[in-house]
Chains A and B, each alone.
Chain A
Amino acid sequence: QKEVEQNSGPLSVPEGAIASLNCTYSDRGSQSFFWYRQYSGKSPELIMSIYSNGDKEDGRFTAQLNKASQYVSLLIRDSQPSDSATYLCAVNNFNKFYFGSGTKLNVKP
C-alpha cells in the first residue's frame, strides 16, 4: 500500500465549475498536509497547507482534512483554464514527506 494515494485522472471540468481533488494517506501519525500544483515541465509549487481537521480557505482554493478518515481534499472554485495542471498531495510525518502520484486536472474553456 502506498503512503499517499491519488486518482491519476485526468479530471476534466468546464471553466467556472468546482474541481474536487482527493487524496488518502495510510499513516495515522501524519501531522501536516500539503497540496502542490505542477505545470508540465515545471517544478511543484505549494498552493495550500492544512494541519487541523476541517476546512481551510485561500481565495478560490479550499483544503479539507478528515484525520479520522485519513482523507484530504482540495476544492478549486470558479476553475480557470490556467488551473490545468497536475496536483500533488503531500503528507508530512516527522519531516519525512510522502507525495502522491498526482491528479491531472483539465479545465476546458
Chain B
Amino acid sequence: DAGVIQSPRHEVTEMGQEVTLRCKPISGHDYLFWYRQTMMRGLELLIYFNNNVPIDDSGMPEDRFSAKMPNASFSTLKIQPSEPRDSAVYFCASSMGQNHQPQHFGDGTRLSIL
C-alpha cells in the first residue's frame, strides 16, 4: 500500500520567495496533519484537517503560512514570503480518525531558506 507521499523532498530557496509543499494522504484516511520539526523545538503541529476541513490551525506560526485541502487526496502548505527561520523539516501525516488510530508520516520535506 502507498504511504503518505510528500513533495518535494528537498527545497532550497531564497528569502522572500513563495514555497509550496505538497502532500497526498493514505487513501481512506480522513485526517491530515502538517508538522514542522527542528532541533530546537522538536515536532510541532501546525494544522490539521478532517474530511478536508481545517479543524485547528492554532499552530500556524503567522499569516505567512497557509494550508489548503481541496480534496481528500491532496493538501498544500504554503509559505509566502519565506524567511530563514522557516528552515526545518516539514512532515505530513494522515490517520483514519477513529479512536486509537495512529498517524502515519510521509518522508518529509527538508526546507532551507537562504
Contacts and interface: CB of A to CB of B under 8 A. Distances in A.
Contacts of B106: 43
Interface residues of B, number: 20
A101 B48 CA distance: 19
Given A31-B100, A32-B99, A32-B100, A43 B33 contact: no
Contacts of A32: 99-100, 102
Interface in B25-59: 31, 33, 42-43, 45, 48, 50, 56
Interface of B: 31, 33, 42-43, 45, 48, 50, 56, 91, 95, 97, 99-100, 102-108
Contacts of B33: 97
B102 A34 contact: yes
Interface in A42-99: 42-46, 49, 51, 88, 90, 92, 95-99
Interface of A: 31-32, 34, 36, 42-46, 49, 51, 88, 90, 92, 95-102
10 contacts: A31-B100, A32-B99, A42-B107, A43-B106, A44-B91, A45-B105, A49-B102, A97-B33, A98-B45, A99-B45
Contacts of A90: 102-103
A46 B104 CA distance: 7
Shortest Cβ-Cβ A-B pairs, 9 listed: A101-B42, A43-B105, A32-B100, A99-B43, A46-B102, A44-B105, A34-B102, A43-B108, A51-B100
A35 to B, nearest CB: 10
A92 B43 contact: no
Contacts of A49: 100, 102
B42 A95 contact: no
